[in-house]
Amino acid sequence: MTPETVAAAAPTAAAAAATVSAPAPAAASVPAPEAAATALVDDPASHRVLTGDRPTGPLHLGHYFGTLHNRVRLHDQGVEMFVVVADYQVITDRDLADRLAEHTENLVLDYLAAGLDPERATIFAHSAVPALNQLLLPFLSLVSVAELNRNPTVKDEIAHSRQSAVSGLMFTYPVHQAADILFCKADLVPVGQDQLPHLEVARTVARRFNDRYPHADGSAVFPLPQALLSDAPMLLGTDGGKMSKSRGNAIALGASEDETARTIRGARTDADRRIGYDPVNRPEVAGLLQLAALCQDRAPEAVAEEIGDGGAAVLKRTVTESVNEYFRPLRARRAALAADRGHLRRVLRDGAERAGAVAEATLAEVREVMGSI
């Protein structure tokens, strides 16, 4: 089973009519990207969103088009939002969290630059919210070791891990992530495809907890969270593979225009001067076209058509200009905010305080239904 995703009625995000209705019907499989969600909801006040990122380095354009864009749109509609900087999750696949404070602050910087308003969005590091972490213990009792072993995202991360031995945290962090989501009773979770197995864990934990520990009146403690997939296709990096910081093929949100130009200049292409959109046979060229298309809000075929026989040089120039133009306002905001590290730390402190109050209330409820003293 995969988590229910919110199906869009229309193929483009611009078709604003698509709505999210809760509860959604159970979906049997992961929908094709075209069938994935828009980030527009019916009744914004009835939803609560939680998402997050690991503070391992700067966010890149794959994060932006994959989930950040969706978050900001939901936020702009007035949906209540929690954003977790998942600092304990950094040490799942490495021994030490390198430059943790710096990465944490920079993540906040990326969020604010992208348009999250810290007065309305609660941004916090999960290590700063003890009651959230305490939920991990009862939650771990609800899943089997066999289930933990089967998680495909965890398996993939183990395959790419920098460690010689796999830690207990690597197997159990999806349950910790369930605590990230359930502590605030979020019902919508904007994530990329790779996170769908984790959403399924959160749903399983919520369902089993509710069955095992109902309130005295029979009501359930936790809502079942739904994944909200981006309608943007997965963004490819400059080598034609998945865009990822660790593969060195990513363009950071906060990169300068020169850095962006340099990265794109180094991108892999092919020798065919005629530019066409063919993801199967020409993945590198298709990836670049897709990036320009997302920034221009056009179809990749139209971008290809315009470049015509211009070859890789014109393609790269087009992509560079599109990216730099699209991200210019965000990058200007980022530069202005970057000067005030105190502000970033205050955002995290306020966020931890607000998230802490919510987590305490949920933990009190959990303790009550479990019969704790």
Site for ligand TRP in 167-196 (CB under 6 A): 177, 180-181, 189, 191, 195
DSSP 199-259: HHHHHHHHHHHHHHS--TTS--SS---EEEE-SSPPPB-TTSSB--GGGT---BTT--HHH
| Contact call for residues 247 and 237 (beta carbons, < 8 A) | yes
- Our finding on whether 86 is near ligand TRP (CB under 6 A) is yes
The CB-of-124 to ligand TRP minimum distance in angstroms stands at 11
The CB-of-92 to ligand TRP minimum distance in angstroms stands at 9
- Our finding on whether 205 is near ligand TRP (CB under 6 A) is no
Q: Which two tokens stand for residue 109?
A: 């910087």
The CB-of-355 to ligand TRP minimum distance in angstroms stands at 12
Size of the site for ligand TRP (CB under 6 A): 14
The CB-of-214 to ligand TRP minimum distance in angstroms stands at 25
Task: Identify which of residues 38 and 195 has a Cβ nearer to ligand TRP in the complex.
Answer: 195
Burial tier of 359 (Cβ tally within 10 Å: 0-12, 13-18, 19+): buried
- Our finding on whether 87 is near ligand TRP (CB under 6 A) is no
| Contact call for residues 151 and 198 (beta carbons, < 8 A) | yes
Task: Identify which of residues 18 and 84 has a Cβ nearer to ligand TRP in the complex.
Answer: 84
DSSP 288-313: HHHHHHHHHTS-HHHHHHHHTT-HHH
- Our finding on whether 104 is near ligand TRP (CB under 6 A) is no
| One-letter identity of residue 114 | A
The CB-of-368 to ligand TRP minimum distance in angstroms stands at 25
Burial tier of 161 (Cβ tally within 10 Å: 0-12, 13-18, 19+): middle
Task: Identify which of residues 155 and 328 has a Cβ nearer to ligand TRP in the complex.
Answer: 155
Site for ligand TRP in 214-273 (CB under 6 A): none
Task: Identify which of residues 61 and 289 has a Cβ nearer to ligand TRP in the complex.
Answer: 61
Site for ligand TRP in 15-74 (CB under 6 A): 50-54
| Closest among 324, 26, 77 to 190, alpha carbons compared | 77
Which stretches of the chain bind ligand TRP, using CB under 6 A? 50-54, 84, 86, 89, 177, 180-181, 189, 191, 195
